[in-house]
Structure 1
């Protein structure tokens, strides 16, 4: 279903404004990204994959500065005598890996939920949905979609919370 939508949008000559959490979908159709945040509006004349790469660099500060800081940290600890124990470093690495895995799991879950929502949207958009289906089945589909949307919001909120922990640890 998503592939058909992507093909249709790629063949469309006009302009489409899209808001989605589905990164695959956006990477396939976006040729320009407009970011809205508390600092204002930023227009990126690039595809979604390039935008994500740029934002990853911006979000984690300057990569070289971050690497420099990481390389200098053990030396500074050794110089001050407050060297972090091997066990503590190992525990922190394991915790970071666990958070990364949880982020990946939540991202896959949100993509799966989005795909289900899109399938329900397509079902409800079909010509016979409201005409041919009994009201009880229509209500069931609409109720399922509402539940999925709530689940998606909870999943994205959790993804954001864990993401902030990961980025704060960097």
Structure 2
């Protein structure tokens, strides 16, 4: 992987487009893919706590502690289906979520974040002003035998460009990025 400086690889805007589908415990799709409400903001966080252990002789070691991954989407729509989407329709269920990272192509490519095993956080925070609704997911390890994500299940026109191909999860990779060339 070559990392270098490229002015065509910079953008200050993301994308309000995301989609998902319900999965079973092995990651197989059990529902129709849908496009979520327009997102005003999104945050994916993957953090591992660092625990410090000290010996009797004051030698310190750092070990990895608990790993926590979350995905949060702040959405703009307030229609009844959008309000009920995660609060009641998918409450207590698991989804595979595909979030477009950049709506403006970078080097003629659009990037996607594929979060394989998202447990819906059954919370609702609804402000009277502002109109934004936050959707939260706990992203868990898909393990080694989780089903691959077939991107072609999302309807044509759902993302900035047609999304095709598959993304295969692996143990310890809570999410993966997928690069799609704009057609």
Greater share of residues in strand = 2
Greater share of residues in helix = 1
- For this structure pair, what is the TM-score category when the shorter chain's length is used for normalisation? under 0.3
Larger Rg computed on CA atoms:
1
TM-score by length of 2: 0.19
TM-score by length of 1: 0.20
